[in-house]
Structure 1
Amino acid sequence: MAHFTVNQEDAFHDTLPLFSLTVEDSHAAAVHGDSDTQTAVQHVLCIHNGLSVFDHQEGFYTRLTVEDNVSFYHKWYGCRVPLPEILVQFDLQSCAGQTLQQCSVSDMRRIYFAKCYMSGGRAMVFREPVHGVDIKTMNTFLNMLHKLKEEAVPVLVLVSNMEHAILLGDAAYKLNPNGLQEVETQEETSSEPEHTGAPAAANLFKIPAKVGDKVILFDPPEIDYIESRDGKAVIVINEESYTMDSTLAEAEKKLEVYGFYRCHRSYIVNLQKVREIITWSKNAYSLRMDNKMQSTIPLSRTKLQDIQDKFSLR
């Protein structure tokens, strides 16, 4: 297991509260925080805890090919996995002969993942590993996480996107000025009330949300999804967020008749705006939304069959 601690002498930054987090072997924990908070945590982990944080800013030899770079670090770290297997594992075989100057952002990120994996650390910390990458690269990182768990390596992931925190971590946390708070990500159980039959006709035609002292009314079709933040339901429309004066459970009851679906304990999606169902691994799924940000929303394993039925995919 690995212990990640920020004590009184470490808390040099106003945005960094005191906290202690233990990650067991074969587990990954994801911590959600803004950029300043991540920088402060990275400083503490590197300086005071002696851990390396892989923030995909480490230097590579840009004039050499992908294979040459990977081969160099393969020898440097004494990696026991054969080099060809590493290239395939990180989906680098198709660009192995290209120089790094010819590689895309996603290609570079997979090279970085390969380097991290070959380093063989006893505990690994990643900062924003899947921000701005394609689906293939995100899948590569998830596969690497799976292998690290099989090898009993504890992993900490720092992210600024709550969807990524839920997707990547066995446990997800939110780090704010009040400290470290765990985000509920457990699968729904049968103890929750089941909805039987078709919902009754809706009485609401506008959904209220607060912005300062004002109340804004939204048409349900405008809404991309609703997520739970600190016990409140938050409407998300493209890049904008608006807080509802209700819980997610209350919002679910109001919006079911408009085609909204509780796809995860912390999320309700507008089914009309679901573009794609993504399978990351055997037990990890997401919904890609048809909005400006192409948001990816976690889909609980227990909800997969239900949503496939809703879209007549079975």
Structure 2
Amino acid sequence: MLEIKNLYKEHQGIIFNHIDLSLSHGHALSIECTREASDMLIDLILGKHIPAKGEIHIEEKVNTEYIKKGLINIGIVLREEGYYERLTVKSYLKFYSELLDSQVNYKDIMRKLALLDIGHMKISTLSYSQKRRLSFARERLKRLKLLIFQEPILNMDRDGVRIVLENLEELRLEGVAILNTSVSLKETIILGGQSYILDEGGMKKVQTDDEEIERKYSNVDDKGETNIPKKDKYEKVDIDKIEMKPRYKIEKIPAKIGDKILLFNPTEIDYIESEQGISSLSVRGENFVCTFSLSELENRLKHFGFFRCHRSYLVNLQRVREIVTWTRNSFSLTLDDKNKSSIPLSKGRINDLKDILNL
């Protein structure tokens, strides 16, 4: 559906360095990037900016040519939008339904975005979360083939997050290609699909646990058995030849601030996040850089109640308040820390967590 090849663009201090992106019908892709980078990427896709190098195609057509006739097939929900503030929710969507000559019943869309009970309210009186759902509803009136969504669930209330995720999943199952952008890596992971980080170094894919599991068990023989390389299978070990090393109980986790090294007790740490190989400890709502990798921290903290809930996250289970199911493929953990943090939970790790918690 959307194909970006070898894209290079420099504009107002933002650099896109040889970006490659491929998004098919019925798939979702989420990108963590700055707001400025998100704006420029969308402008490039919509033909408002011209690449210095590279190509952008939509349904195998040059994007600028496709936009001339196919804009009705592209939904765009921006982080900040203007509204006809004096209109009610119902009249606003009815107006766009007529304007777009929509084949979709706008009342049905209101129901899906939980707007029916506030249909009589003026837009000026709506909350932030309600306005975001209204913008999404407007774009669902189109004959969507591609949806571009800036910060779909950032700063949304809990009900709003659930509603948006359910609607995104419904569109994806209907064959719509979905491109999300956000300043939050956690958000891109919770949104599901493929997650990427976009910066001056280019586009980097965020590896997920589910992809790792799928890749490991994708090679199945005629007998239905997994073809695992010999080196991955159990081998006999001579216990007498094992070098026994002393075991130490790690009671302090170091973090750096300038020239100082802080030592935290494991119980002080709410969760640990790894981004581009750098581990960050979340303690009382503040983040501290740690020199250990996430895997090293996992080994050091597993006896203190820490759980690897996602490839990029390690969480203190004593801080977990809720296990939240957004959709059948999207899960998160809500913590009772200072910020009431929401941490991604990989689908492939749910059963392990249930075993630990005896659920």
TM-score scaled by structure 1? 0.89
Q: Residues 56, 112 of structure 1: CA spacing in aligned structure 2 closer, same or farther, 3 A cutoff?
A: farther
| Structure number, greater radius of gyration | 2
Partners of 1:66 and 1:98 within 8 A in 2: yes
Aligned counterpart, 1:172: 195
AA aligned to 2:339 is M
Gaps of 5+ in 1: 194-199
Matched, 1:253 2:299: yes
Aligned with residue 269 of structure 2, among 211, 218, 223: 223
Q: Residues 239, 4 of structure 1: CA spacing in aligned structure 2 closer, same or farther, 3 A cutoff?
A: farther
Aligned counterpart, 1:29: 29
AA aligned to 1:250 is E
Q: Residues 288, 20 of structure 1: CA spacing in aligned structure 2 closer, same or farther, 3 A cutoff?
A: same
Aligned with residue 172 of structure 2, among 149, 164, 170: 149
Aligned counterpart, 2:87: 64
CA distance in 1, matches of 2:284, 2:208: 23
AA aligned to 2:10 is A
Secondary structure of the 1:241 match is strand
Map 1:104-119 onto structure 2 (within 5 A): 104-119=127-142
Deviations 1:86-145 (A, max 9, x none): 111011111111111221111111111101211234322111121111121111221221
Secondary structure of the 1:58 match is coil
Deviations 1:23-69 (A, max 9, x none): 11111111101223223323333313557742143332211211111
Partners of 1:202 and 1:254 within 8 A in 2: no
Q: Residues 280, 185 of structure 1: CA spacing in aligned structure 2 closer, same or farther, 3 A cutoff?
A: same
Map 1:288-307 onto structure 2 (within 5 A): 288-307=334-353
C-alpha RMSD of matched pairs (Å) = 2.4
CA distance in 1, matches of 2:10, 2:310: 34
CA distance in 2, matches of 1:14, 1:83: 41
Matched, 1:102 2:102: no
Partners of 1:6 and 1:44 within 8 A in 2: no
Q: Residues 311, 261 of structure 1: CA spacing in aligned structure 2 closer, same or farther, 3 A cutoff?
A: same
AA aligned to 1:234 is S
AA aligned to 1:40 is M
CA distance in 2, matches of 1:42, 1:212: 37
CA distance in 2, matches of 1:148, 1:44: 24
Aligned counterpart, 2:326: 280
Gaps of 5+ in 2: 50-62, 68-74, 217-227, 234-245
Deviations 1:188-207 (A, max 9, x none): 548999xxxxxx98621110
Partners of 2:35 and 2:183 within 8 A in 1: yes
AA aligned to 1:97 is H
Deviations 1:231-276 (A, max 9, x none): 2322123543222222211110100111111111111101111121
Partners of 2:192 and 2:329 within 8 A in 1: no
AA aligned to 1:265 is R
Partners of 2:191 and 2:330 within 8 A in 1: no
Aligned counterpart, 1:197: none
Secondary structure of the 1:133 match is coil
Task: Give the stretch that moved more between structures: 52-61 or 83-92.
Answer: 52-61
Partners of 2:89 and 2:119 within 8 A in 1: yes
Aligned counterpart, 1:40: 40
CA distance in 1, matches of 2:346, 2:93: 36
Partners of 1:13 and 1:40 within 8 A in 2: no
CA distance in 2, matches of 1:238, 1:80: 50
CA distance in 2, matches of 1:55, 1:287: 27
Secondary structure of the 1:7 match is strand
Aligned counterpart, 1:186: 209
Deviation at 1:283, TM superposition (A): 2.1
CA distance in 1, matches of 2:257, 2:132: 38
Deviation at 1:308, TM superposition (A): 3.1
Secondary structure of the 1:42 match is helix
Deviation at 1:6, TM superposition (A): 7.0
